[in-house]
C-alpha cells in the first residue's frame, strides 16, 4: 500500500479458515482470534495473516490497522484482501496484501487462531520469524538463519554495486554479471586493498 515503505519485524501470526456459517456463529463474533491477535501485537512485530490466498473478502480494515499502528507494530502482511483500503493506507503502517475488497471477512473467512505456524503467500511463517518487505515483495527468514542471510545479503549488495559501477564505466555484461574467474579475481583484489 506504500510502495516506498520498507518493512522489517518479527512475525505475529493469525490464521483464517474458509467460512462456514456454523463456525462463523461460534467463532466469528465477539472477541475473536482476529481481534485478539491485533490487541496482542507489540512493537516491532508484523501481523502475518493466512487467508489461503483468497482475496474475496477483507482480512482487516482501518480500525485494526489503527490498533496495530498504535501498538507500534512494524506492519501487516496478508495473502488476502484489505477492506477500507484508502483509510488503511492513510494510517501509514506498511501493509502488504492482494488488494482491496469491500466485503467483511465473514463472506469468505473465519478467524480461527493465532500465534501458530501459518502459510501466507505460499510461505510457511512461524511466530518470531523475521519478515522483510519492500516494493519487490515480502520474504520470511527463519530466526536461526537471520545472521547468515544478513551477511550474505550485505555481501551481495556490495558485489552488485561493484558490478553496476563496472557496467556504468562501459564494461560489457558478458563475464561480469555473473562474474567469471577473471572479474572475480579483480573484484577480490580491489576489496583486499580497501580492507587494508
Give 150-191 pLDDT, tens digit per residue.
999 999 999 999 999 999 999 999 999 999 999 999 999 998
10 Å Cβ neighbour count for 181?
8
Task: Looking at the structure, tell me whether residues 20 and 60 fall in a common domain.
Answer: yes
In this predicted structure, what is the pLDDT of residue 176? 96
Task: Looking at the structure, tell me whether residues 38 and 87 fall in a common domain.
Answer: yes
State the residue range of the domain holding 21.
7-141
Distances (CA, A) of 82 to 79, 108, 170: 10, 13, 46
Helix, coil or strand: residue 49: strand
> Shortest CA distance to 115 belongs to which of 37, 25, 32?
37
In this predicted structure, what is the pLDDT of residue 112? 95
Task: Looking at the structure, tell me whether residues 175 and 126 fall in a common domain.
Answer: no
Q: Does 1 fall in a domain?
A: no
Query: E-assigned strands of the chain?
Result: 7-18, 45-50, 75-78, 95-96, 109-114, 118-120, 123-125, 130-134, 137-141
Q: Give the count of domains, the chain.
A: 2
What CATH code is carried by the domain that includes residue 72? 3.50.30.40
| CA gap 82, 96 in Å, rounded | 9
| CA gap 176, 183 in Å, rounded | 6
Q: What is the mean pLDDT of the chain?
A: 95
Tell me the pLDDT tens digit for each residue of 17-72: 999 989 988 888 899 999 999 999 999 999 999 999 999 999 999 999 999 999 99
Task: Looking at the structure, tell me whether residues 165 and 184 fall in a common domain.
Answer: yes
Tell me the pLDDT tens digit for each residue of 60-112: 999 999 999 999 999 999 999 999 999 999 999 999 999 999 999 888 999 99
Task: Looking at the structure, tell me whether residues 44 and 121 fall in a common domain.
Answer: yes
Q: Find the farthest-apart pair of alpha carbons in the chain and give their distance in angstroms, rounded.
A: 69
* Size (the chain), residues: 196
Amino acid at each position: 500500500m506504500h510502495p516506498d515503505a520498507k518493512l522489517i519485524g518479527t512475525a505475529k501470526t493469525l490464521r483464517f479458515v474458509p467460512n462456514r456459517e456454523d463456525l462463523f456463529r461460534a467463532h466469528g463474533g465477539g472477541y475473536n482470534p482476529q481481534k485478539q491477535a491485533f490487541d496482542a501485537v507489540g512493537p516491532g512485530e508484523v501481523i502475518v495473516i493466512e487467508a489461503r490466498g483468497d482475496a474475496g473478502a477483507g482480512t482487516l480494515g482501518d480500525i485494526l490497522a489503527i490498533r496495530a499502528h498504535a501498538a507500534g507494530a512494524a506492519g501487516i502482511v496478508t495473502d488476502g484482501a484489505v477492506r477500507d483500503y484508502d483509510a488503511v493506507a492513510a494510517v501509514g503502517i506498511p501493509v502488504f496484501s492482494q488488494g482491496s475488497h469491500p466485503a467483511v471477512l465473514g463472506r469468505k473467512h473465519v478467524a480461527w487462531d493465532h500465534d501458530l505456524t501459518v502459510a501466507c503467500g505460499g510461505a510457511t511463517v512461524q511466530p518470531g520469524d523475521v519478515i522483510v518487505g519492500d516494493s519487490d515483495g515480502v520474504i520470511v527468514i527463519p530466526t536461526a538463519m537471520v545472521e547468515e542471510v544478513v551477511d550474505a545479503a550485505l555481501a551481495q549488495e556490495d558485489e552488485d554495486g561493484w558490478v553496476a559501477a563496472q557496467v556504468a564505466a562501459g564494461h560489457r555484461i558478458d563475464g561480469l554479471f555473473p562474474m567469471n574467474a577473471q572479474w572475480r579475481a579483480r573484484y577480490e583484489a580491489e576489496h583486499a586493498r580497501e580492507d587494508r
